[in-house]
Amino acid sequence: MTSRTVKFALLLLALVCCFLVPTSHSQRTSNVEQRVNSLLAQMTLAEKLGQLQQLDGEANGNYRPEHLDLIRKGLLGSTINVRGAQRTNQLQRVAMNESRLKIPALFGFDAIHGYRTIFPIPLGEASSFDPSLGERSAAVAAQETNNVGVRWTFAPMVDIARDPRWGRISEGSGEDPFLGAAFARARVRGFQGNDYGAPDKILACAKHWVAYGAAEGGRDYNTTDLSEQTLREIYFPPFKAAVDAGVGTLMSSFNAINGVPASANAFTLTKVLRDEWKFDGFVVSDYTSVKELINHGIAANEEDAAAAALNAGVDMEMVSRSYNTFGPKLIQQKRLSTATLDEAVRRVLRIKFRLGLFDRPYTDEAREANALLRPESLRLAREIAGRSMVLLKNDRETLPLGKNLGSIAVIGPLADDRRAPLGWWSGDGKEENTVTPLAGIKTKVSAQTKVGYAKGCEVKGDSTAGFEEAVNLAKSSDVAVVFVGELAEMVGEAASHASLDLPGRQLELVQAIHATGKPTIVVLVNGRPLSIGWIVDNTPAILESWMGGTESGDAIADILFGDVNPGAKLPVTFPRTVGQVPIYYNHMNTGRPPEAENRYTSKYYDVPWTPLFPFGYGLSYTTFKISNLQLSAPRISVNGKLTVSAEVENTGRRAGDEVVQLYIRDTVASMTRPVKELKGFQRVTLQPGEKRRVEFVLGPEHLGFWNREMRYVVEPGEFRIMVGANSVDVIETKFEVTPN
């Protein structure tokens, strides 16, 4: 080969490499940082503040006329609720063609459990104890949302909630930080994938940072007062999991934490999030939560509010306009440094670059129509709903029903309701797409089965005028299935309840139907634990269907008639009465743990201290036995790992799922420790007679806690290990942690 040919070959190789070798992560990161900084250097103060402003569109998805002008001037970086490929493209064209620096707008929307294909409410989905379902439903939500021009969702909602009075308990994964973290991780992966700039993926937002679910009295927006231990051990873990999974944004919450509002809280926003967790995305405030710092009483006016929020670490302001209005003055008065402002802008731009918005700002309008309610999305919604419904009671195998029944009475205000199954945050879900339970049952039964329907009463209100018709229908049918619970408006934001009883006359309706002597099956359609003691004591079968989404009715029918064997478990404790709240499984032992015969112990005089249904509880149409608990060693060091395993056997006659749950207890420690903490779970499917050994690995990340010096430590000593099918029915053993 001549030297010229060699040179030519090398040149060719270099060129090919340039095209073929993917840019490394660090190269991409430094490219993004370079682009961010060069853009920042060109921005005026007003344009910088513009990137920190988010404004609301109209409920129907339209933008507002002022958005056009603000975007043209570079004064608006993001919107919420504006959706539809055409509308977002219109606004985006203004940003890309008419604004000075051509910075694309970022469109956000609440696709909490689906965009058009609505999945079960997150509390329901968490009942599946199968985080892979959270990932798959979020992936469908991302695909639909992306195709309507929205590249950012305000989800997952990862607030731990120990108080069913709080309406937003329906939006999260329940009371447990370990389960909550697993779902947080899965949902972030589902929305974002490995790269939220990829087609069909969107940017996620873990919310509400933080302790929003601890609102005193369960009253929404209320203040919280929590120890740092409780914050770190109970409320932080799902956020940490989301950050570790690469979530691009967080939302700061409405509540105050120990006297400092979460939207002006430098401890949570900067010390924990940035310094400890190294989060490099941005934080958006909740809706007007910056301006609300005035109501909290830590800001005298909007100027103060803007300074407090920006300096604490809230980068983007949702809806209120304090940053934009007062930013220039704050800079001038040196209450806000240019460095702090620039850092906030940098974080927002970084995410816009990572999303690929500068290179692909528009949405393909032709794809939108085929993006929604795809058959495979609906199939998944049905599957997830079926895997999320919890069988609470089933005496004498009342369920499943035969498809050849002579007649079935479908009764109750939620039997044919299209709105409730969608929940409160129903994305852009449409009632006309909901399959109601009545429709699901009609499709399922044989042609000979007579299906009668009577509403009986409303969910709210006092009228019992419909009872007679419902009772007569039950009398003339072989079996009655009664659908009671809550309306969509009764759950979610600003829907705190002081009572957990069934609203209106619904309990009396169930009682009237039960009094006919016909087998009465109760199906709950609701978004929070309800105190349904009478129903539990008197009716033979109860199915908790939650608010099961678009395909809810089909999924309920799948379960009622045995095509799907329920295997879900409660991710939250059901109290007997609201007076027991807060009641959660991972409580401390106290100095006087409850004893029935001893008055001077920690319990109630008038009701039992135990819950109606414990965390992790749920039945199946088959039965399981968990046995033969084994440990890989009797002791491990503080840094060691332990394998725990147990056998689970399907002892019944049908294939079914059991969720094997692993709990630990640190028996003696320098701080009081919970009586149980979930540290592992696996949902397994077993054929009749099949037996399997299920394994869990425990390490320092499971065994430690935040000590008095606020350090995470694993303390030597004895630990109890409990494995079971719920948080109460467990088999147990012990092991020892040694100093080294």
| Binder of ligand BGC out of 63, 152, 154, 574 (CB under 6 A) | 154
Contact 187, 135 (CB under 8 A): yes
169 belongs to the binding site for ligand BGC (CB under 6 A):
no
Catalytic-role residue among 110, 159, 286, 315: 286
493 belongs to the binding site for ligand BGC (CB under 6 A):
yes
Nearest to ligand BGC of 125, 558 (CB atom): 125
In whole angstroms, what is the distance from residue 521 CA to residue 516 CA?
13
What secondary structure, in 3-state letters, does 588-613 show?
A: ECCCCCCCCCCCCCCCCCCCCCCCCE
382 belongs to the binding site for ligand BGC (CB under 6 A):
no
Nearest to ligand BGC of 413, 527 (CB atom): 527
What secondary structure, in 3-state letters, does 347-377 show?
A: HHHHHHHHCCCCCCCCCCHHHHHHHCCCHHH
Least Å distance, CB 465 to ligand BGC, is: 37
> Is 286 among the catalytic positions?
yes
Nearest to ligand BGC of 207, 444 (CB atom): 207
Least Å distance, CB 280 to ligand BGC, is: 22
Q: What is the DSSP letter of 316?
A: B
Query: CA nearest 269: which of 327, 305, 310, 326?
Result: 310
Nearest to ligand BGC of 168, 505 (CB atom): 168
Least Å distance, CB 352 to ligand BGC, is: 19
Residues 392-411 that bind ligand BGC (CB under 6 A): none
β-strand pairing of 205-209 with 249-252: parallel
Least Å distance, CB 220 to ligand BGC, is: 9
Nearest to ligand BGC of 431, 493 (CB atom): 493
Least Å distance, CB 318 to ligand BGC, is: 7
Residue nearest to ligand BGC (CB): 154
Contact 719, 636 (CB under 8 A): no
Nearest to ligand BGC of 489, 563 (CB atom): 489
State the Rg of the chain over Cα: 27
Nearest to ligand BGC of 154, 624 (CB atom): 154
Least Å distance, CB 110 to ligand BGC, is: 5
| Binder of ligand BGC out of 178, 287, 424, 467 (CB under 6 A) | 287
With 0-12 / 13-18 / 19 or more C-beta atoms within 10 angstroms meaning exposed / middle / buried, residue 134 is: buried
Whole-angstrom CA distances from 127 to 385, 522, 527 are 10, 18, 12
110 belongs to the binding site for ligand BGC (CB under 6 A):
yes
207 belongs to the binding site for ligand BGC (CB under 6 A):
yes
Least Å distance, CB 493 to ligand BGC, is: 6
Please provide residue 307's backbone torsions phi and psi, each rounded to the nearest 5 degrees.
-65, -45
Q: What is the DSSP letter of 271?
A: I
80 belongs to the binding site for ligand BGC (CB under 6 A):
yes
| Binder of ligand BGC out of 135, 286, 551, 658 (CB under 6 A) | 286
Alpha carbon 16 to chain centroid distance?
46
Query: CA nearest 445: which of 556, 567, 566?
Result: 556
Q: How many CA atoms lie within 13 A of 507 on its CB side?
A: 14
Catalytic residue IDs: 286
User: Which residues here bind ligand BGC, judged by CB under 6 A?
Assistant: 80, 110, 154, 207, 286-287, 493
